[in-house]
Amino acid sequence: MPNNNTKWVYLLILSVIWGTSFILIKKGLLGLTPYQLGALRTFFTGLFLFSVGFNRIKTIKKKDWKWIIIYGFLGSFIPAFLFAIAETEIDSAVVSVLNSLVPLNTVLMGLAVFKITSTKRQILGVIIGFVGTSILILKGAELNPNQNYLFAGFVIVSTVMYAANVNIIKRYLQDVKPLTIAVGNYVPIIIPALAILFFTDFFSAENFSASLFRTSILYVIVLSLFGTALAKVLFNKLVQLSTPVFASSVTYIMPIVALSWGLLDGEKFTLIQGFATLIILIGVWLANKKKQPVSRSQEKTKYN
């Protein structure tokens, strides 16, 4: 089916974009504080989205605004800061691995809160993928004993927020255009982001005189345009095309991309981590493998 092929294309594109985002955050933190990076990322993304879809705001129905505002804070504003804070202590590749908790949280939250059912195969696929993720985390901790893994809590909180967002889109915003959702959710958060930039002395002349500061801003611009603005539109479309579990499984492939960037940036990568990525891919495939339809002849045999 064309729709089935399309969702895989979206999944792979998002994996590359979001997998690259972690190294961009790492580079951005060389000249910016995590609060400046999170706020700047939010501000630039808002500007990009408003420039291409500001007229979409008036099409948002009154009943949808509540969920779009919640989406904005849970899926855009707060995680932008939490991921930046986490990467001050943990490698970018490890943070991307921790982000793989999103599908597990999506299934659990979908069942418990949003009453969105998942099949046994989906749940098994998520568990297998999580096993692969756990191996990556343990190996990362072994290779980097000096890193403060308490900061992993910031990433875990973000995964819960992302899981809530995936279910909100599927449950309450299914009929809203992906670009409209992306533009609308930045309406309530762009001003707070600007305020944070002001109170963290981002606009001081001393900052802009430093070349590292200016270079970090360029990394954040790329991160905002591709890793946030474009990715959000693609992700919203993916959720509507598929299921919450399938859409959130992008976080299983992202670590492969992030680990590749980390390797190029001098981070370590072992054969065990390679084996773990294979487990993750098996989990993604299993979670999204459709049950084969039963033919009439098979059905006759079954009931004879």
Give the residue among 76, 133, 79 at the shortest CA–CA distance from 101.
133
All residues at 6 or more sequence positions from 277 whose CB lies less than 8 Å from its CB, including other chains: 132, 136, 255, 256, 259
Structural domain contains residue 295: no
- Residue 302 belongs to some domain of the structure: no
* Residue ranges making up the domain that contains 89: 2-290
- Tell me how long the chain is: 304
The answer to whether residue 298 is domain-embedded is no
| Contact by Cβ (8 Å): 228, 45 | yes
Q: What is the pLDDT of residues 258-280, one digit of tens each?
A: 888 888 888 776 778 778 878 87
Tens-place pLDDT, residues 208-235: 999 999 999 999 999 999 988 888 888 8
Task: Give the CA dihedral 14, 15, 16, 18, nearest 10 degrees.
Answer: 80
Answer for the pair 181, 173: CB distance below 8 angstroms, yes or no: yes
Domain membership of residue 274 (yes or no) is: yes
What is the predicted pLDDT for the residue at 131?
A: 85
**If we measure between CA atoms, which residue out of 137, 105, 96 comes closest to residue 123?**
105
In a domain, 231, yes or no: yes
* Span 163-212, pLDDT tens digits: 888 888 878 898 898 889 999 999 999 999 999 999 999 999 889 999 99
pLDDT average, residue stretch 124-149 = 77
Q: How far is 280 from 282, CA to CA, in rounded Å?
A: 5
Within-domain flag for 301: no
- Let me know if residue 300 belongs to a domain: no
Q: Give me the number of domains the chain comprises.
A: 1
Q: Which two tokens stand for residue 29?
A: 């933190």
Residue 133, domain member (yes or no): yes
* Dihedrals phi, psi of 290, to nearest 5 degrees: -80, 145
